Amino acid sequence: MIAIVDYDAGNIRSVCNALERLGAEYVLTDDPQTIRTADKVILPGVGNAAEAMASLRSKGLCEVIRNRRKPVLGICVGMQIMCRDSEEGNAQCLGIFDSHVRLFEKTPDIKIPHMGWNTIGNFDSKLLKGLPKGTYVYFVHSYYPTLCPDTIATCKHGDTLFSAALKYECFYGTQFHPEKSGDAGEQILKNFLAL
């Protein structure tokens, strides 16, 4: 069974819809026991990292997620709050990935938010299996996770190379939105479900 963490983090509906398109069964829940025992957990997220952390904390879910030994997938802000910390609202995060979340620096040649389809590279992971080189995925974000030993895919916006995907033990995260990334995104979700 798949648990999608329900913690007031924006457009959770689109992750539910993506799983329905794949015919996967899921529950949308904030119940610690369900999240502790689920085969797979997805931590979605759109919005603000500090608020997302506050919401996770108030629901008593931080330790539950950190202590899991079965796959967890964080998406966008859901991934950012699995990093060490975020410049967005100076949030202390879950510290699962050895990455810091920083605001893109404004320069004349880039637009912020980094919004739209961009290519990912250098990936080597079961999560990204079957994706051809130069695959485009859909991003919407103003803050990015820095490169770190957990980086399994990179992306470049302007001069900034950042982590497009991360992995540490059973924890996975994507800065992009697989649920909005067309066929490539569906492949990634299928890969996660097959872990």
Partner 1 sequence: MVAKRIIPCLDVKDGRVVKGINFEGIKEVGDAVDMGVQYSKDGADELVYLDISASHEGRRTFVDLVGKIAKGINIPFTVGGGIGSLDDASRLLDAGADKISINSAAIADPSLISKIAGKYGNQFVVVAIDAKCIDGQWMCTTHGGRNLTEVELFSWAKKAQDLGAGEILFTSMDHDGTKAGYACEAYARMCSELSIPVIASGGAGSIKDIVDVLTVGKADAALAASIFHYGEIAIPDLKKAIAAEGISVRL
Q: Residue 122, interface with partner 1 (CB under 8 A)?
A: no
State CA 39 to chain mean position distance.
18
CA-CA-CA-CA torsion sign (78, 81, 83, 86): positive
Binding footprint of partner 1, residue count (CB under 8 A): 37
118 touching partner 1, by CB under 8 A? yes
Which amino acid is it at 99? S
Interface with partner 1 (CB under 8 A), residue from 21, 57, 66, 70: 21
Q: Is 89 in the site for partner 1 (CB under 8 A)?
A: no
**Angle, nearest 10°, between helix axes 182-193 and 13-21?**
80
The owner of tokens 């992750």 is 15
Q: Report if residue 140 touches partner 1, rule: CB under 8 A.
A: yes
Residue with tokens 């966008």: 76
Fill in the DSSP letter of residue 55.
H
Helix (H, G, I), strand (E, B) or coil at 41: strand
Which entry of 114, 141, 157, 177 is annotated as an active-site residue?
Answer: 177
Q: Is 179 an annotated catalytic residue?
A: yes
CA angle 93, 99, 101 (to 5 degrees): 65
* Residue of 89, 113, 121, 130 interacting with partner 1 (CB under 8 A): 113
Dihedral over Cα of 123, 70, 137, 95: its sign = negative
Residue 141 a catalytic site member = no
20 touching partner 1, by CB under 8 A? yes
* 64, 114, 163, 175: residue in contact with partner 1 (rule CB under 8 A): 114
Q: 63 catalytic, yes or no?
A: no
Active-site choice (76, 83, 93, 155) = 76
Closest by Cα among 141, 123, 140, 145 to 132: 123
Binds partner 1 by CB under 8 A, chosen from 25, 106, 133, 149: 106
Catalytic residues: 76, 177, 179
Q: Which residues bind partner 1 (CB under 8 A)?
A: 10-11, 13-14, 17-18, 20-21, 46-48, 106, 111-119, 136, 138-142, 156-157, 177, 179-183, 185-186
